[in-house]
Homo-oligomer: A and B are copies of this chain.
Amino acid sequence: MSETQRLSWLPFLKQPVPAGLREPVQVAAFELAQGASCPARAEIGPGMEDEAWELLPEGEGWIVRGGRRGVLYGAYALLEALHTGRKPWSGLQKPFYADRMLNCWDNMDGSVERGYAGRSLWFENGGFAYDPKRIRQMGRLFASCGLNVLCLNNVNVHWPAQRLIADMLPKLAEFAAILRPFGVRLMTSVDFSQPMRDGVPTADPLDSRVQDWWNVCADRVWAAIPDFFGFLVKADSEHRPGPFTYGRTHAEGANMLARAVAPHGGKLVWRAFVYNCQQDWRDTKTDRPCAAYETYAPLDGQFDGNVILQVKNGPFDFQVREPVSPTFFAMPRTDLALELQLAQEYTGQQIDIYAMPPMWDELLQDLPPQTVKAVAAVSNLGRDANFFGHPFAALNLFAFGEYAWYPCVRREQIVRDWVRLTYPDLPDGDRAALAALLLDSRHVYELYTAPLGLCWMVSPNNHYGPSPDGYEYQAWGTYHRADRSAIGIDRTGGGTGYAAQYPDALRARYESLDTCPDELLLFFHRLPYDYVMRDGRTLVQRVYDDHFEGLARTEAMAETLEALPLPSPDREEVLERIGRQRTDAREWCDIINSFFRRFSGAEDAHGRRIYP
């Protein structure tokens, strides 16, 4: 099957978007012509906002009316409504978040950091190397779910990615031109110390030579790409350069860059992922989840207006289960972006099925959508024929776009829509079974992996599969400190004090054993193995039960999938991967159970086999 036939959730758009179309409205017309089952036409609504749209009935069909980009979003919305059988939305539609960003961790050697869908779609051998047809197909996927910013290179800026905003700008502009008809603007990750490669003797953000260098750089970038979105920066984190080298704050560092891009209407996106990655494991005072808040909360109000501070959903790093990051509540005078990770780094690596909408629903219960001004996600895309490694991983990109447009969307609806769009020929009952399986997949994954919010029981470095003590004595600040009596870190006021970073209601909920959710119990509390949970089971018995259940439900998922008449090659890919997931789930189940039994000495109450 050729690449262009892998159309993901848009199987009804079989004709690739032609290279000649320059404006979103042209793409809209092209897509409606081939995809609509009724008369439909697209038109620019005079005076309408860029991204706004509305659907107007006209005879047996529809007019899609919208702003420059909105008309394309409206066209896809109509097509999706028609192909799912839903009633098209009425009324003027606008995105909840103006900036809906995808961060790609693509390196210019063609590798993708934490990429699980093959090599980079656009880099190879230190330069651009892509099939424009695939890039246009990707642009179509983005526009169909409303994503509008693409950061195309890794936040860890490895040489020669610095050249993207220097001598490789013409190539960057060519790439931008391919995505422009889809309403997608480009962003690049930049190296905070890049001026020093050009002979500036420092990267001190308060040094005028540094400011001048970035000013000239920005002039050059926007001259080449007038609708360029901005720069993304990872600074002072995991050995990246940053303002700390010069005794400057992250506000000073970000503002310097922000001032360079401001005259062009550019944004400066600064990642709040800063912690001590060379911690001494003996040190029980330093607690890594505290780090982002400690670094950034004092800076609230100091960032320029075009700075976006991008904060990961949780205080660690995209674990299966983390509480919401307290930094979100501590910076009311700062434009924050929520950062999610579609790449399944710690969540099964696009081998194990892990649909994210249920996780985001839970997150948004604690994080009201208006708390942040923008959203970003680490991409799960790659050069694999199906773009995503696992065919079902496409759901996470689709769903991210939908949440970014309208965060109050229901997870059930997103999953149902994606299944309906992706597999139009699947019988109703099978579609329902698949949707149920996807909606349950994150819970299943959580059941068989690190229990009760412990995090980090994963194999070091590659982050796939269990290694319960793998990070225990390392420098990453990721400890559970299991011994023969107890496990977990006390993060209440009596412990590291992390919980005090939350607003009172959340703090009280997490600190009390009566109210702390079971799933976060060992994130916030250190507890003995024989601690009695609210349901009367001991903690260790709960761990055993969850793990046996997670394995059993994975087996059941495999049976469901075996019986599901998915089209080829999705069926073959899905069955191959569920086989690996079964192996993975069995490893997790047996190793975590053994680990807890070795420490606790507790036998399973139901006599199931736990290896010695």
> B470 to A612, Cβ gap below 8 A?
no
Complex contact A590–B469 (CB within 8 A):
no
Instruction: Give the complex CA separation of A611 and B281 in angstroms.
Output: 9
* CB 8 Å contact bits of A470-493 with B (1 = contact, 0 = none): 101100000001111100000000
Known: A473-B466, A473-B467. A482 touches B611 (CB 8 A): no
CB of A94 within 8 Å of the partner chain: no
- The chain B residue with its CB closest to the CB of A485 is B601
Per-residue contact bits, chain A 584-599, to B (CB 8 Å; 1 contact, 0 not):
0001001100100111
Chain B residue with Cβ nearest A484: B484
Interface size class of A (residues with CB under 8 A): 20 to 34
Does A282 lie at the interface of the complex (its beta carbon under 8 Å from any beta carbon of B)?
yes
B residues less than 8 Å from A472 (CB atoms): 469
Extra contacts, 15 of them, besides A468-B473, A483-B612 (Cβ < 8 A), are A281-B591, A282-B611, A284-B612, A467-B469, A467-B470, A467-B473, A469-B472, A473-B587, A473-B591, A473-B594, A482-B598, A483-B599, A484-B599, A484-B600, A485-B601
Report B-chain residues with C-beta under 8 Å of the C-beta of A473: 466-468, 587, 591, 594
Smallest CB gap from A462: residue in B: B461
> Which chain B residues border A591 with CB–CB below 8 Å?
281, 473
CB distance from A157 to the nearest CB of B (A): 26
Q: What is the chain B residue whose CB lies nearest that of A592?
A: B473
Q: Are B282 and A484 in contact (CB under 8 A)?
A: no
> Which residues from chain A sit less than 8 Å from chain B, CB to CB?
281-282, 284, 460-461, 466-470, 472-473, 481-485, 587, 590-591, 594, 597-601, 611-612
Which of B590, B597, B599 is close to A599, meaning CB atoms less than 8 Å apart? B599
When distances are taken between beta carbons in the complex, the residues of chain B under 8 Å from A594 are: 473
Identify the interface centre among A282, A482, A587: most chain B CB within 10 Å of its CB: A282
Q: Which residues of B contact A587 (CB under 8 A)?
A: 473
- Set B461, B467, B484: member contacting A598, Cβ < 8 A: B484
* Alpha-carbon separation in the docked complex, A482 to B598 (Å): 7
C-alpha spacing A468/B612, complex, angstroms: 17
Residue of B nearest to A466 (CB): B473
Q: Kindly provide the distance from the CB of A137 to the nearest chain B CB, expressed in whole angstroms.
A: 36
Chain B residue nearest to A483 (CB atoms) is B598
Identify the closest chain B residue to A472 (Cβ). Answer: B469
Q: How far is the CA of A460 from the CA of B612 in the complex (A)?
A: 22
A-B contact pairs, 9 of them (CB 8 A): A282-B611, A466-B473, A468-B469, A469-B470, A473-B591, A482-B598, A483-B598, A484-B598, A485-B601
Report the separation of the CA atoms of residues A520 and B460 in the bound assembly, to the nearest whole angstrom. Answer: 30
- A284 CA / B612 CA spacing, docked (Å): 9
Chain B residues with CB under 8 A of A600: 484
Nearest B residue to A461, CB-CB = B461
Whole-angstrom CA separation of A485 from B485 in the bound complex:
13
The CA of A482 and the CA of B484, in the complex, are separated in Å by 11
**Least CB distance, A477 to chain B, in whole angstroms:** 15
Q: How far is the CA of A95 from the CA of B207 in the complex (A)?
A: 70
Chain B residue nearest to A482 in the complex (CB): B598
* Cβ–Cβ < 8 Å partners of A482 in chain B: 598
Closest to A591 in B: B473
Q: Taking the nearest CB of chain B, how far is it from the CB of A461, in angstroms?
A: 8
| Least distance between A120 CB and chain B CB atoms (Å) | 23
A208 CB to closest chain B CB (Å) equals 39
Bound Cα distance from A481 to B595, whole angstroms:
10
Cα distance A587–B461 in the bound complex, in angstroms? 20
Which residues of B have CB within 8 Å of A599?
Answer: 483-484, 598-599
A467 cross-chain contacts in B, Cβ below 8 A: 469-470, 473
Min Cβ gap A588→B in Å is: 10
Known: A473-B466, A473-B594, A599-B599. A612 touches B481 (CB 8 A): yes
Q: How far is the CA of A473 from the CA of B593 in the complex (A)?
A: 12
In the bound complex, how far is the Cα of B284 from the Cα of A148, in angstroms? Answer: 55
Let me know if B590 and A282 touch, CB within 8 A: yes
The complex places the Cα of A587 from the Cα of B473 at a distance, in Å, of 9
A590 to B460, CA, bound (A): 20
Give Cα A61–Cα B394 distance, bound, in whole angstroms: 85
Which residues of B lie under 8 Å from residue A284 when comparing CB positions? 612
Closest 4 CB pairs of A and B: A483-B598, A469-B469, A484-B484, A282-B611
Q: Chain B's nearest CB lies how many Å from the CB of A406?
A: 44
CA distance A470 to B461 in the complex (A): 12
Q: Which residues on B sit within 8 Å (CB–CB) of A612?
A: 284, 481, 483
Chain B residues near A282 (CB-CB < 8 A): 590, 611
Q: Are A601 and B483 in contact (CB under 8 A)?
A: yes
Residue of B whose beta carbon sits closest to that of A471: B467
A284 to B481, CA, bound (A): 27
User: Measured between C-beta atoms, what is the minimum distance from A427 to chain B in Å?
Assistant: 40
Complex-state Cα separation, A573 to B597, whole angstroms: 47
CA distance in complex: A485, B484 (Å): 10
In the complex, residue of chain B having the shortest beta-carbon distance to the beta carbon of A594: B473
With CB as the reference atom, state the residue of chain B lying closest to A599.
Answer: B484
Q: Once bound together, how far apart are the Cα atoms of A337 and B521, in whole Å?
A: 57
Contacts of A590 in B (CB 8 A): 282
A601: shortest Cβ distance to chain B, in Å? 5
Question: Chain B residues near A466 (CB, 8 Å)?
Answer: 473
- A611–B473 CA distance with the chains assembled, in angstroms: 11
Q: Is the CB of B601 within 8 A of A484?
A: yes
A605 to B275, CA, bound (A): 37
Contact partners of A461 in chain B: CB under 8 A: 461
In angstroms, Cα B470 to Cα A481, docked, is: 15
Whole-angstrom distance between the Cβ of A467 and the nearest chain B Cβ: 7
